Amino acid sequence: MVGQDWKRIVIKVGSALIAPEGKGTSTRYLLAIAQFISECKQQQIDVVLVSSGSVAAGRSAIPFSHHPLPINVKQAMAAVGQTRMMAVWSQLLDCPCAQILLTHDDLRDRKRYLNIDNTLRTLLSHGVLPVVNENDTVATKELKVGDNDNLAAMVATVVEADALIICSDVDGLYTANPRTDSQAKFIPLVPMITAEIFAMAGGSHHQIGTGGMLTKIQAAAKATEQGIDTLIINGQKAESFVGLLNQQSVGTLFKAQAETLSAKKHWLLHTSKASAEIVLDAGAVKAVLTQGASLLAKGVNSVRGDFDKGDAVWLVSLDGGRLAKGVSQYNAHELEKIKGIHSQEIAVVLGYCPSEVAVHRDDLVLLNPVNPSATNRSQSQNS
């Protein structure tokens, strides 16, 4: 393997590889992937497969000519296609396979997140290949992760993988879209994901899939931040997998970052969903960003949106800029009542005081730390 120390990998296979014609499954590209997975397992490397393609695999069973497809039709296609897709993987692989269907609601709930972790680890310990997909049969817009690139990064974090391999229909990352720009240059190594790297991403050209290069870089950012090497390779080329097994440089490697968030804070930042906002006054902004402080009710300027105690919320400045994400110790109605007051006055206003802080530092992660190294070390110690 390219990574000699890789003991556990997550490999993501997209719809364009599962169903290259857009109607039904095909083994055209899957044989090489299956052989790669089998070889990894023979080398005692744990593998988790994140496989798209259920809608495309079931498309032929439910004729529908109108576009875009209504959600109920896509869900019905996914219900048919999921069994077909699992049948293909089971036939190609010489190991037992397990189907794991997830929604964002499963991942953002901390208890369910830990249950998913336990199930995946148990399967791996018994030599079973987990095949993960988004549960398109029941997922609504509010519950969807949205693409399996980011789902794969979340799964890699859950199982503490050493590497995430994203199989695409291009060789990796280029400075521009190589299909439309002849001057585009291939980038074999990305030491750190920056705004310039994101700027190189284009949309998805494939009508079947939902993930273009942008979602792949988003996934790489999530994974590398957690210390997971991430590769984007061309899954249509069998030599990509031969090269990996022969420890050759293949695709674009996004290097794992040395300083990582704790698993809890990574979950909070990348997996938990937040829609409401707590607006901080200038003093609270300074305390949270530069002093490693919790957010006190005194520093709350206003509350935007509805949320319950224990929900994730955005912490924003007076001008609306997002500063951090955290778990609120109060619901929106309570916080509206106690905003701007000292902690010792909370019991007087509410009649009770379950917490002296609105958002505890241990349940808060900065989006752009002023001193990333120091902040990450602090976060690791506090979690």
Give pLDDT tens digits for 181-191.
888 899 999 99
What is the torsional sign of CA 153, 159, 160, 161?
negative
pLDDT-based confidence at 46, cuts 50/70/90? very high
Please write the tens of the pLDDT for every residue from 115-151.
898 899 899 999 999 999 988 677 555 434 457 899 9
Percent of the chain clearing pLDDT 90 (strictly above) = 54
Burial class (CB in 10 A: 0-12, 13-18, 19+), 313: buried
This prediction has a pTM of: 0.71
Cα–Cα distance list, 94 to 34, 51, 126, 247 (Å)? 9, 17, 14, 24
In degrees and rounded to multiples of 5, residue 156 shows phi and psi of -60, -35
Burial class (CB in 10 A: 0-12, 13-18, 19+), 20: buried
Please write the tens of the pLDDT for every residue from 87-120.
999 999 989 999 999 987 788 777 788 789 889 9
In this predicted structure, the answer to whether residue 380 has a pLDDT above a threshold of 60 is no
Query: In 3D, which of 262, 347, 350, 343 has the Cα closest to residue 295?
Result: 343
Give the model's pLDDT for residue 2: 58
3-state DSSP assignment of residue 134: strand
303 vs 73, more confident: 303
Q: Are 215 and 227 in contact (CB under 8 A)?
A: no
Q: Residues, the chain, total?
A: 383
How far is it, in rounded angstroms, from Cα 320 to Cα 278?
A: 10
Q: Show the 3-state SS of the chain.
A: CCCCCCCEEEEEECHHHHCCCCCCCCCCCHHHHHHHHHHHHHCCCEEEEEECCHHHHHHHHCCCCCCCCCHHHHHHHHHHHHHHHHHHHHHHCCCCEEEEEECHHHHHCHHHHHHHHHHHHHHHHCCCEEEEEECCCCCCCCCCCCCHHHHHHHHHHHCCCCEEEEEECCCCEECCCCCCCCCCCEECEECCCCHHHHHCCCCCCCCCCCCCHHHHHHHHHHHHHCCCEEEEEECCCHHHHHHHHCCCCCCEEECCCCCCCCHHHHHHHHCCCCCCEEEECHHHHHHHHHCCCCECHHHEEEEECCCCCCCEEEEECCCCCEEEEEEECCCHHHHHHHCCCCHHHHHHHHCCCCCCCCEEEEEEEECCCCCHHHHHHHHHHHC
Please write the tens of the pLDDT for every residue from 52-67.
888 888 888 888 877 7
3-state DSSP assignment of residue 364: strand
Percent of the chain clearing pLDDT 70 (strictly above) = 89
Q: Using the 8-state DSSP alphabet, how is residue 320 labeled?
A: -
pLDDT-based confidence at 71, cuts 50/70/90? confident
**What average pLDDT does this structure show over 368-380?**
42
**What average pLDDT does this structure show over 346-354?**
93
Give the model's pLDDT for residue 383: 29
Longest CA–CA separation in the chain, Å: 70
In this predicted structure, the answer to whether residue 319 has a pLDDT above a threshold of 90 is yes
pLDDT-based confidence at 367, cuts 50/70/90? confident
Give the model's pLDDT for residue 146: 58
169 vs 359, more confident: 359
In this predicted structure, the answer to whether residue 35 has a pLDDT above a threshold of 80 is yes
Q: Which phi-psi region, left, alpha or beta, contains residue 146 (left: φ > 0; alpha: ψ -120 to 50)? A: left
pLDDT-based confidence at 363, cuts 50/70/90? confident
Q: Locate tokens 């500063």: which residue?
A: 323
Give the model's pLDDT for residue 381: 32
382 vs 262, more confident: 262
Q: How many CB atoms neighbour CB 27 within 10 A? A: 13
Give the model's pLDDT for residue 140: 55
pLDDT-based confidence at 4, cuts 50/70/90? low
Across the chain, mean pLDDT equals 86
Q: Are 325 and 364 in contact (CB under 8 A)?
A: yes
In this predicted structure, the answer to whether residue 232 has a pLDDT above a threshold of 50 is yes
Domains and CATH numbers, the chain: 8-258 (3.40.1160.10), 274-382 (2.30.130.10)
316 vs 182, more confident: 316
Please write the tens of the pLDDT for every residue from 283-301.
999 999 999 899 999 999 9
Give the model's pLDDT for residue 257: 87
